[in-house]
C-alpha cells in the first residue's frame, strides 16, 4: 500500500452546542457546524456538521459528515471518523479515516476508497491533510 496526497482541509466551527450529562467529568457530546475549504488535487468549499463525543480522558471522537463543492460544481460527500488527541496543548493532533461519495466521473474512484488524514487544531483553525490509501499487491507468497 501507499499514500497519495489528495487535499488539505482547512476549516473553523461557526456554531456549536455542547451537552455534558456526566457532571464534573470531561465527557460530553457536541454538535458543531463547520465551514472552510479544501486545497490540493481537490479544490473547493467545505461545509459540514461534526457530532463528536468527548471521552472522559479528554479525547474527541469525531463523527463528521460534510460536503466539498468544487469550483466547477462537482459535489463530494464525506464522512470522517478518528481521534482528536488532547496533546500537545498548543497544536492538538488529529488522526482520522475519511470516505467519500461522488457521482462526478473525475472523483467516482473515491466511492470505494479509504482515505486517511492527520492534522492539528491551531488557534487559527483546524487543518487536516487527507491522503488516498492506494492498494498495491503484497510481497507475501500465494498459496
User: Which three-class secondary structure state does DSSP give residue 4?
Assistant: strand
CATH of the domain at 22: 2.40.160.20
Record the pTM: 0.91
Q: What is the DSSP letter of 143?
A: -
Q: What is the pLDDT of residue 39?
A: 97
Q: What are phi and psi of 112, to 5 degrees?
A: -130, 35
pLDDT mean across residues, the chain:
93
Residue 23: pLDDT above 80?
A: no
**Total domains present in the chain:** 1
Residue 120: pLDDT above 70?
A: yes
Point out the least confidently predicted range of 24-28, 29-33, 121-125.
Answer: 24-28
Q: Is residue 140 part of a domain?
A: no
Q: Is residue 139 part of a domain?
A: no
Name the residue among 57, 58, 62 with its Cα closest to residue 30.
62
Residues 4-16 have pLDDT tens digits of 999 999 999 999 9
Q: Is residue 141 part of a domain?
A: no
CA distance 35 to 37: 7
Query: The domain containing residue 70 runs over which residues?
Result: 2-134
Residue 142: pLDDT above 80?
A: no
- CA separation (Å) from 52 to 44, 58, 101? 24, 12, 21
DSSP string, 33-83: EEEEEEEESS-EEEEEEE--EE-TTS-EE-EEEEEEEETT--EEEEEEEEE
Q: What is the pLDDT of residue 33?
A: 98
Report the relative pairing of strands 63-70 and 115-122 from DSSP bridges: unpaired
Name the residue among 95, 98, 99 with its Cα closest to residue 82.
95
Q: What angle do CA 101, 132, 70 make, to 5 degrees?
A: 50
Residue 26: pLDDT above 80?
A: no
- What average pLDDT does this structure show over 56-81? 96
Q: Is residue 84 part of a domain?
A: yes
What percent of the chain stands above pLDDT 90?
A: 76
Residues 32-62 have pLDDT tens digits of 999 999 999 999 999 999 999 999 888 999 9
Of 53 and 88, the structure prediction assigns the larger pLDDT to: 53
Q: Is residue 142 part of a domain?
A: no
Amino acid at each position: 500500500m501507499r499514500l497519495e496526497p489528495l487535499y488539505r482541509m482547512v476549516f473553523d466551527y461557526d456554531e456549536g452546542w455542547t451537552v455534558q450529562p456526566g457532571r464534573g467529568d470531561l465527557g460530553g457530546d457536541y454538535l458543531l457546524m463547520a465551514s472552510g475549504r479544501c486545497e490540493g488535487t481537490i479544490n473547493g468549499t467545505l461545509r459540514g456538521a461534526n457530532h463528536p463525543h468527548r471521552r472522559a480522558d479528554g479525547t474527541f471522537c469525531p463523527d463528521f459528515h460534510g460536503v466539498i463543492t468544487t469550483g466547477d460544481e462537482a459535489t463530494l460527500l464525506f464522512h470522517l471518523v478518528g481521534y482528536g488527541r488532547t496533546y500537545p496543548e498548543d497544536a492538538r493532533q488529529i488522526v482520522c479515516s475519511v470516505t467519500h461519495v461522488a457521482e462526478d466521473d473525475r472523483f467516482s474512484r473515491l466511492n470505494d476508497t479509504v482515505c486517511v488524514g492527520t492534522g492539528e487544531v491551531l488557534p487559527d483553525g483546524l487543518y487536516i491533510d487527507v491522503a488516498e490509501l492506494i492498494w498495491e499487491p503484497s510481497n507475501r507468497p500465494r498459496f
